[in-house]
Amino acid sequence: MRTSQKFMIAVMLMMVIALTTVSSSISLLAQQTNPVVNNFSFKLDEGSLDLTLDEEKYEDGEDTGKRTSEGNTYRISPGDTIEKDPTVTIAKGSAESYVFLYVDSELTDKFTINYNSDSWKEVANDSNGQSLYIYHTTVDASESEQKLTSLFDTIDVSKDITEQEISDFGSSKTLTVQAYAIGVISEDGDVSLATAIEEAAKNFKFNNYDTNVSLD
C-alpha cells in the first residue's frame, strides 16, 4: 500500500432548531433530524425561527456551483486540502437568536479543521472529537435573511500520514455538523447568554462548557 492512495471520508450535515417557550424557567422546543438537513419552523408569540444548514456540493472532486444540505463524500490523498463551508442561513422574519454549531468528528489528528475563530467561539469540547461553537453575535433576521460566516472553509490532510495510519483509518470516517438556535427572548423576558450556552451544551450531552465567553 502506498501513502499516495486515495481514502474516503463522508461528511454529513444535520440541523436542530430550538426556541424558548412560556415558562418560569427556560424551556426549549427542539427537533433533530437524521443525517440529512430538513427545515423546521416553530411559530411562537415571540416570533419564529427558520434555519438552513448547507455547504458547497462536490461531485467527483469538483465544485458543482450548487449547495447541498446532505453533505459530501470525498476521496482524498495525503497532503490534500478539502474545501468545505458548512453555513447557517437564518430566514427573513426569524426571531433574534443565539446560533450554535455542533461538530462530531471521527477524523484523526492528521486532519486539521481550519475554523473561522473570529466568527465562531468554542464553548465546549470533549476527548471524543465533539465540540460546540457559538456565533460571535446574536442574529436578528426579522427584516432580512441572514447568511452567517461558515464554521470553517477548509480541512487539511497531513502529507505525513503513514501507511499504517491509512490502514487504521478504515474505509471511511464521518464529520457531522449540526445547527442549533435559541431565541434571545421568551415571554418571561430575556434569555441570558450563559443560559443559552448551558442549554445548548446539555442538548449535546456536554458535561463541561464555558459560559464566560462574550459576544460582539
Write out the DSSP string of 99-124. EEEEEEE---TTEEEEE-TTTEEEEE
The distance between the two most distant Cα atoms of the chain, rounded to a whole number of Å, is 62
Of residues 117 and 38, more confidently modeled: 117
The least confident of 2-6, 24-28, 70-74, 146-150 is: 24-28
DSSP string, 135-178: ESS-EEESSS-EEPPPSEEEEEEPTT--HHHHHHH-SEEEEEEE
Residue 136 pLDDT more than 50?
yes
- Cell reading at 123: 464553548
Q: What is the pLDDT of residues 38-86, one digit of tens each?
A: 333 333 334 578 888 999 888 887 889 999 888 888 888 889 898 889 9
- Cell reading at 71: 453533505
Of residues 73 and 213, more confidently modeled: 213
Which among 174, 191, 96, 94 has a CA at the least distance from the CA of 135? 96
Residue 28's pLDDT is what?
38
- Cell reading at 3: 501513502
pTM, 2 dp: 0.82
Confidence of residue 172 (pLDDT cuts 50, 70, 90): confident
| Helix, strand, or coil (residue 76) | strand
- Cell reading at 21: 417557550
- Cell reading at 20: 424558548
Average pLDDT of the segment spanning 190-215 = 94
